[in-house]
Amino acid sequence: MIKRIGLLTSGGDSPGMNACIRAVVRTALYHQIEVVGFLRGYDGLIDNQFCILNHKEVSGIINKGGTILKTARSERFRTTEGLKQAVTTIQQHALDGMIVIGGDGSFRGAIELAKHSDIAVLGCAGTIDNDLVGTDFTIGYDTAINTAVDAIDKIRDTAESHDRVFIIEMMGRDAGLIALRSAIAGGAEALLIPELNNDLGDLIEKIKGWRHNKGSRIIVVSEGDEVGGAYKLAETIKPYCAGLDVKVSILGHIQRGGAPTCMERVNASIVGYHAVLELMSGKRGCMVGIINRQVALTPFENAVKHIERIDPVLEKLIKVLSH
């Protein structure tokens, strides 16, 4: 019998986390389960900073970016002492289950939590990066790519008006999936992401071949690409740009913010709802995701394995369409 569960958001914030919190709380209350929300990720668990979440606390939040529970990257939780303190908090609250909303790092933390206590832990993938195995879309990704496409569209206006080359740097330390989809949707002329073995030489050849009267020249680069960031890339390609101005735009944290898209809110609600139902049915140690529109459970150990290969259809698409 699940009577009381804990809930926290951890790692980088992502739009849709609030929709997921709301779904967890409302589903739990519907089944007479109490929800204890811990503040600032694993730090809140260590310091026993919490609030009891009822209908009132989660009303009016589905349309809001960020997370009402706040989030943090907790270095203390990686220590034996921090982990011990977190387990003590769980025991003090007599929690029967725990739901962690976060990315791969947060799930590595969830694995440790489960290893050192007897609590059932489930996860909802909350990260803009979409880099987890076991779900088609993580919470935050759809909003982030829409924000990025909007930015590309706006930058293209000025790029065309001034005949400029623009390098747009997207978030993604280890994964280039935000850059990939937004480059396709924004009609970028070139893409550099860690998953593709982009030869800088290929890019330079491409630049040399750009038609003189070409309308716009947008290069999308992921922050984690081996070229070492947009500014370094700008210096490298400048000599080949036939005197055209090369400008850099780093989108940065605007990719994390804003109202979640409709798709985001619906997906976040589905996984939050199912996380509670799966806890009630005795599941533990898994991430709740959506694959081909079906709810899917993936053990944390598999979910955190980084996606090394991108969809070959998308890889081909960007190559052909940006030609």
Which sequence positions are flagged as catalytic?
129
d(CA 187, CA 199): 20
Examine residue 223 and tell whether it contacts ligand ATP (CB under 6 A). Answer: no
DSSP-derived secondary structure for 101-127: EE-HHHHHHHHHHHHTS--EEEEEEB-
Which is nearer to ligand ATP, 6 or 11 (by Cβ)?
11
Examine residue 300 and tell whether it contacts ligand ATP (CB under 6 A). Answer: no
Which is nearer to ligand ATP, 34 or 104 (by Cβ)?
104
Among 105, 176, 285, 289, binds ligand ATP (CB under 6 A): 105
197: burial class by Cβ within 10 Å (0-12, 13-18, 19+)? exposed
Closest approach of Cβ 100 to ligand ATP, in Å? Answer: 9
Phi, psi angle pair for 84, to nearest 5°:
-60, -40
Which is nearer to ligand ATP, 105 or 260 (by Cβ)?
105
DSSP-derived secondary structure for 136-163: SS-BTHHHHHHHHHHHHHHHHHHHHHHT
Examine residue 89 and tell whether it contacts ligand ATP (CB under 6 A). Answer: no
Among 74, 117, 198, 298, binds ligand ATP (CB under 6 A): 74
Among 4, 64, 70, 108, binds ligand ATP (CB under 6 A): 108
Examine residue 127 and tell whether it contacts ligand ATP (CB under 6 A). Answer: yes
187's CB contacts (< 8 A; 6+ apart) are 152, 156, 218, 321, 322
CB-based closest residue to ligand ATP: 105
Closest approach of Cβ 43 to ligand ATP, in Å? Answer: 8
Closest approach of Cβ 61 to ligand ATP, in Å? Answer: 19
**CB atoms closer than 10 angstroms to residue 120:** 21
d(CA 20, CA 289): 12
Q: Do residues 7 and 36 lie in contact, with contact meaning Cβ atoms separated by under 8 Å?
A: yes
d(CA 6, CA 95): 6
Examine residue 97 and tell whether it contacts ligand ATP (CB under 6 A). Answer: no
Which of the stretches 4-12, 18-26, 84-92, 183-191 binds ligand ATP when contact is defined by CB under 6 A? 4-12
Q: What does the DSSP 8-state code read for residue 218?
A: E
Which is nearer to ligand ATP, 14 or 182 (by Cβ)?
14
Which is nearer to ligand ATP, 16 or 103 (by Cβ)?
103
Which residues are paired to 100 by β-bridges?
Answer: 8, 123
d(CA 152, CA 155): 5
The contact mask relative to ligand ATP for 23-62 (x = CB under 6 A, - = no) is -------------------x--------------------
Q: What does the block give as tokens for 184?
A: 């396709």
Among 34, 112, 169, 278, binds ligand ATP (CB under 6 A): 112
Closest approach of Cβ 108 to ligand ATP, in Å? Answer: 4
- The residues of the shown chain that bind ligand ATP, judged by CB under 6 A, are 10-12, 42, 73-74, 77-78, 102-106, 108-109, 112, 127, 129
